Structure 1
C-alpha cells in the first residue's frame, strides 16, 4: 500500500471546503492534483489552469518542485483569486471568463477541475453561448442537458497545442449523459486518450458529494485504439502519482486496478464503468415489461396531500388516488397497505389530487383550486401544458416500482399497496399480470447479478448512487442464467411479440 507523502494532509470536515453549488466549486484533493500535474508537466515550461479556484494545481506544481515551469490561471471568482497562495513566483492568475473570453493562444499543458454546474442552473443566454461554442469547435450541437463542465473540456481541448497534454477531473456524467456519444466520438477521432482514472467509493476525491469523479489524461496527438483504465481503491496513496509519473509503464500497484482497454468498447460502455463486452446479452427488461416514469404533478406541495390536509380541505374520495412520492417512503422490497397507513400516521403525503378535465368539482375542491391559481401554478412550465391546468396525468397502477435514484440494493419494489408512484419512481408493467409471472420477474430483477447491470444503463453519482431513466431501464440486461432460474424464458417469445404490438399501438 502506498503511504501518504509528508506534505499531504488528510481532509478536514467537508463543510470547511466551502462547497458552493451555484458556482460549481469542489476543491481537488492534493493526492489527485499531484498525479494530474505529473502527467502534464513533462517537456513544458507553462501550465494553464482555466478554473484555478483555490489553487490545488498550483500548490501541486509547487510541491513537486518544478522551478522551470510557470503557472497561468484564470477564474471568475474574485474571492478565490485573492487567495494568498497566488503570491508565489512564476505565477500569474487573472479574472477571466474561460468560456466567453478564452486566452488568445494555445497551451502545451492544461489542467483543470472545471466548475460542475448542471444544465438546469445555466441561464438561457449562457446556454446560447455554449451551443455556439460546441458547434464552432466540434461541428455539432451538444445535447442541452450537458453541464457547464462539458464546455470547459471542449474549449480546453481546442486550445491544446500539438502533442500537448490535458488533465481534467470531471463528473461521471461526462461519459453517461445524453451528450456523451457525440462528445467522445469527437474527442476520440481528434485526440489520443491516454488514460482514464476512476475511483472506488471509499477513495472518492469528493466525499459526501453526489457525483463520481473521473480523471481524463488526453494528448493532442494521433488517436490510438486502446487506453489505460484505472480504478483507485484507496485515497491518499502515492500509487496513483507513481503510476502516472512512471508513464504508465509499471502497472501493478497495491491500491490500483490497471487495465488495458479498447477505446471502442470504452466509449460504448462509458469510461465510468468497468469493461463490459455485453453485446451478447440475450435478455433485457423490455423483453418482459414496459417502463414509464412516475406521475409528474408539477407541484407536489399542492397536488400531493396528507390525510390531514384531505380532511381539512374536504376533498371527496372520488378525486383522490393513493400515491407514494419519495423513495425513502418505500424502504423494503414489498410495499403494502400497512406501510402506506404507517406513512399516513407519520403525516406523510399519501393522497394524489386526481381530477379529470371534465369533472364537475364540488365547492370545497373549487376553492382549493383557486388557491392554486393564486400561487401561480397555471403558469408553471409543466402545468401550463395541461387543459385545464389541474388535470392530472394518468397512469395504471404498476405491479412493480423502481427507485429512480438510489444507493440501496433493493431497487425493484412489489406494489402490493396498489399505489400510483410520483417521479421518484419508475413504473414497471409486466406483460403478464398473473401473480406468478409478476413475482418471478420481481425476484429476477432483484437478483444481485441483475442489479449489478444497472451500472451499464444508469448514471452514477456519489456513494454508489445510480440514476436510471425509463428508456435506459428498459434496456437493463437480465443475465440468461437468471431468466432460466426463474422460468421466464418460456414467456420470452410471446412477451416480445406482445410488447411489439403494445408499442405499435402506443405510437
Structure 2
C-alpha cells in the first residue's frame, strides 16, 4: 500500500494547548520507532490490531516496510483523526471506539500500540472504578488508584493476544516504576513471555520535550522464560533497532544500541526501566538518615511570603520561619544565610507563615486569615483536611536537603541557613547530631559514585530528569568504598 507522508507531531507551546494534549494523552510515535515495533509483531501475522491509532504512525510504518497483503484494524475515540486519507484505503478498517469501555470480542495475533498517556489524577472517578474492575476481571486483583490509563490499555491488549501472538507497546517509564509496577510485572511475567524491553537515552527520546521517558515492551503469548533482552537506544536509528528486534543475530553498534540479557527476577527487583546493577553495596542512605518530603503548604501564594510582604502585613516574627521553595533558588551545594539575603533582595519568598494551634492570634494575623477565607482557601483539598485550615505542617529543620525532581547535578544540599524546605525538596535527617559527621554524610551523598546510583531508585522523566520519593531515597546505595572514605560507620 502507498501511504502519504506525515510530519512529526508539533508540541504545543501555550499552557492551554499543553493541557488539552495531557487530557487526551496523545503523543504521536515517530516513524523510525513505529517501523521497528511493527516489524516485530508482523513476524506472527500480517493482520495488525492498533487500539489507539492516533495519526496512524503504525499504519504508515506498515506501508514503509513494503510488506504485501497487510491488513490493519484500529480504534480511536477521537473522530477527527479518522478523517485522514490514510485510513480510507483497502485493507484498513478503523472505528471510533473506546478500547477499554468497549473492547473487541476477538483475539489478535499482532497488537501494536502507543496508548494514551493519561495520568490518574485526570481520570474521572467512574472511569477509575471501571478500569479497576476490568483489571480485577483480567488479573484477579485491583491496581493502586494512582495507576495511569496506559497500564490498563496494556492489560486489556494482553488479554486479547492470541496464543503465540506478539505485542509491541510504547509506554511511559512509570509503567515499570510506579506504585503498581511490582504487582503488575510480576503478573505479566508469569502469564506471558517478556522478550524485550527497550529504553531510550535523551539523545534518542521518541517524544522530545515531553516530561516523561518512554519504554518499548515486546511480549509474546507463549510460556514465560526466566530471561529477557534489555536494550538502551542511544540514537534514533530505526534500521538497527528493527533488525535487532526481529533477528537478535545482530551485534548492534554500541553508539546506536547497547543490549544485554537479564534475568526476570533481577530486573523486577531493580526495575525494568533501569540498567542492571553492577556494583553490590552493603550500605544505603537509610542506614545513616531518615527522609521526609518537604512541607506542603496547600497555598504557596498565601503562606509563603517575601520578607517585604510579611513586613507590610505586620505579621509577627514568631509565626514566620525561613523557608526555601524552589530548587533553582539554591545555586550550589550549600544553602547559607547569604543565599537567603540574596533571595530577599531579589523579591523571592523566604518567609513561611507557620501557624500552630497555640499561637497567639494578633489582629494582623486575624486580618490576614480573613483574606484567606475570602479567597476560599479553607475549601482547598489539602487545607480542608487540617483543623483549623491555617495550621502548617511541622518539620524540624533538616541538615541536608535533596532536590526532589529535576536535572540538576547537585542533588544533596547542606542546609546551613536553617531553612525549612517546601515540596520541591526532601528533608534528610542524619541519625547523628554531630556536625562533622553530618558534613561527611553530605559529602558521601554527593560523591559521583553515589549520585550514579540515583537512577536505580528514581522515577525517570524526559530530558534526563528524575524524581525520587522519600522511601526510595532511603534505599539509595552508598558504595562501600565511599562509606569507608568518609568514615560513615564511625558514628
Please report how far the alpha carbon of residue 8 of structure 1 lies from its aligned counterpart in structure 2 after TM superposition.
9.2
Cα distance between partner residues in 1 of 2:338 and 2:121: 38
**2:106 alignment counterpart:** 105
Q: Is the 8 A contact 1:210 1:461 kept in 2?
A: yes
Show CA shifts across 1:83-119 (max 9, x none): 2221222111111011111111111111000011111
1:172 and 2:188 matched: no
1:339 and 2:321 matched: no
Cα distance between partner residues in 1 of 2:82 and 2:238: 29
**1:406 alignment counterpart:** 406
Cα distance between partner residues in 2 of 1:466 and 1:179: 18
**1:498 alignment counterpart:** none
Alignment of 1:318-337 (within 5 A): 318-337=318-337
Please report how far the alpha carbon of residue 379 of structure 1 lies from its aligned counterpart in structure 2 after TM superposition.
1.9
User: Alignment RMSD, CA only?
Assistant: 1.8
Please report how far the alpha carbon of residue 222 of structure 1 lies from its aligned counterpart in structure 2 after TM superposition.
0.4
Cα distance between partner residues in 1 of 2:31 and 2:369: 55
TM-score (norm: length of structure 2): 0.95
Q: Is the 8 A contact 2:231 2:260 kept in 1?
A: yes
Please report how far the alpha carbon of residue 43 of structure 1 lies from its aligned counterpart in structure 2 after TM superposition.
3.3
**2:48 alignment counterpart:** 47
Cα distance between partner residues in 1 of 2:70 and 2:13: 30
**2:363 alignment counterpart:** 363
Show CA shifts across 1:246-301 (max 9, x none): x22223335110111111111111111111266x4211111111111111111111
What is the total number of aligned residue pairs between the two structures?
A: 483
Please report how far the alpha carbon of residue 381 of structure 1 lies from its aligned counterpart in structure 2 after TM superposition.
2.1
- Residues 380, 395 of structure 1: CA spacing in aligned structure 2 closer, same or farther, 3 A cutoff? same
Alignment of 1:10-409 (within 5 A): 14-15=11-12, 20-245=21-246, 247-254=247-254, 255-276=256-277, 280-409=280-409
Cα distance between partner residues in 1 of 2:431 and 2:284: 13
**1:496 alignment counterpart:** none
- Residues 237, 57 of structure 1: CA spacing in aligned structure 2 closer, same or farther, 3 A cutoff? closer
Please report how far the alpha carbon of residue 489 of structure 1 lies from its aligned counterpart in structure 2 after TM superposition.
2.0
Cα distance between partner residues in 1 of 2:348 and 2:471: 30
For the residue of structure 1 that corresponds to 2:22, the secondary structure is coil
Show CA shifts across 1:332-365 (max 9, x none): 1011111111112221111101111122211121
Show CA shifts across 1:147-191 (max 9, x none): 110000001000111111100001111111110000001100000
Please report how far the alpha carbon of residue 206 of structure 1 lies from its aligned counterpart in structure 2 after TM superposition.
0.8
**1:482 alignment counterpart:** 482
Q: Is the 8 A contact 2:114 2:169 kept in 1?
A: yes
Q: Is the 8 A contact 2:209 2:463 kept in 1?
A: yes
Please report how far the alpha carbon of residue 308 of structure 1 lies from its aligned counterpart in structure 2 after TM superposition.
2.4
Cα distance between partner residues in 2 of 1:235 and 1:340: 44
**1:502 alignment counterpart:** none
- Residues 119, 331 of structure 1: CA spacing in aligned structure 2 closer, same or farther, 3 A cutoff? farther
Show CA shifts across 1:127-150 (max 9, x none): 111110111111111111111100
Q: Any gaps of 5 or more consecutive residues in structure 1?
A: 1-6, 492-507
For the residue of structure 2 that corresponds to 1:21, the secondary structure is helix
